[in-house]
Structure 1
């Protein structure tokens, strides 16, 4: 699945959605993952993703076998100990495409429909996607919230399993472990598919990479950030287009 290509494809975003974000004393959670144009409405199953979890002490663990349907991928994750788990797709490399510079912004070919303007600088780019969600058994713990330190990611300041409707939730946006300033952040509502208010909030990270979101209603939300940057040395393309999402439930 590409985050590159035609206009309909360019709007797609990855997600992971557990059946519960707070399992009480449950011993497992079932998770779906897909690419979607609307938050949590599966359209194309996520394949070739290194699905895994980070346990309450921050160590990496495996998830159960993945079942691939046409619209979504499904797997189970065992929650053997109390604490918080990060359920993640892991960093997934997607297809390659082209983008061009329009003033200060990089634009993916096809996003605005049509070819690059005459004389525009064009470069080859590969899509990179990562989607996270946090699930807690018993009392929340902090270790899985620690950033991995590579590519695009969000470090929660407010514990994701403690977010409530009508209250501010704070985060730090990072790229390769360093604060990323001036990036656009969008918050989507799952209920928006039904009432037409799909976007709950839009903001931008400050000079320290920090941003705050306030979900007005109870329900499930998806935070999405995109960032385009030069690829690491030895990569298959000179540039990469990163998309990161974080799913959470506001009580």
Structure 2
């Protein structure tokens, strides 16, 4: 269990660092359900190929579903297999639901008795992860957010109220109302403030059938906003991280910032 949580933390922390690395994702069966008895099924996994079931399941312990009225919604029929987890969400009220996995983690290194050691864990485990007599302690705290949105019958924006922690997407154009070739406007926040010049990418699923990644990259303006033309219809992973990776210094290991924030969300772009 501990090993799995560490792998998940690593995947979440590195969500936007490498488009080819293992990525965690939440994939709903549909983003918009127009039915009297509205349900959606969600797959959850960490995979090398985006939305491919090829590596390991995403643990569901910390997944939270929030309804349009702000109330928490229970996961139904939750199951974790060898390569993926899956669960159902009953959308008993019309409106938009947020399905999210939000985590805080700490990683770093220290020297003990002349030997360099590395660790990754939580804020709560920091005291036992790093001995009191450790030297040259270097820490990086990461706030990660992984989410997707589904709507029953109609869309609303109540679930997009920002928490003020880490990177967040506060869309002007609703993520359940995206159509290929049309314009969309999104706003990114960092700790509740506009995330100016924030880079993000949209990665479409189905890379193993295309042979190319097909990643689309964008950057917000000084207000943390961007208006862009939506790509071809597909399921996409929105991926962003802050701060931007520092340029490597020859002969030195990569420098980690004292704090990082990552964001990932699955959105569906429908045909026109």
Which segment drifts farther, 144-153 or 180-189?
144-153
Number of aligned residue pairs:
220
TM-score of the superposed pair, with normalisation by structure 1? 0.76
Q: Is the 8 A contact 1:166 1:215 kept in 2?
A: yes
Q: Is the 8 A contact 2:93 2:152 kept in 1?
A: yes
Aligned match of 2:72: 60
**Residue deviations 1:102-148, cap 9 Å, x none?**
xxxxxxxxxxxxxxxxxxx9932244432111111111112112222
TM-score of the superposed pair, with normalisation by structure 2? 0.71
* Distance in 2 separating the partners of 1:62 and 1:130: 19
Runs of 4+ displaced beyond 6 Å: 7-10
Aligned match of 1:76: 88
Shift of 1:246: 1.4
Aligned match of 2:226: 211
Q: Give the gaps of 5 or more residues in structure 2.
A: 1-6, 110-135, 245-256
The alignment status of 1:202 with 2:217, answered yes or no, reads yes
Shift of 1:14: 2.4
Q: For the structure 1 residues 48 and 142, does the alpha-carbon distance in structure 2 shift closer, same or farther, using more than 3 Å as the test?
A: closer
**Residue deviations 1:14-58, cap 9 Å, x none?**
221111111211432111112233321242322265211121223
Rg comparison, structure with higher value = 2
Superposition map of 1:67-146 within 5 A: 67-89=79-101, 91-94=102-105, 96-97=107-108, 123-146=138-161
* Distance in 1 separating the partners of 2:23 and 2:159: 23
**Residue deviations 1:199-221, cap 9 Å, x none?**
34101121111123433211111
* Distance in 2 separating the partners of 1:137 and 1:180: 30
Work out which of the residue numbers 11, 16, 40 in structure 1 matches 2:51. Answer: 40
Q: Is the 8 A contact 2:200 2:238 kept in 1?
A: yes
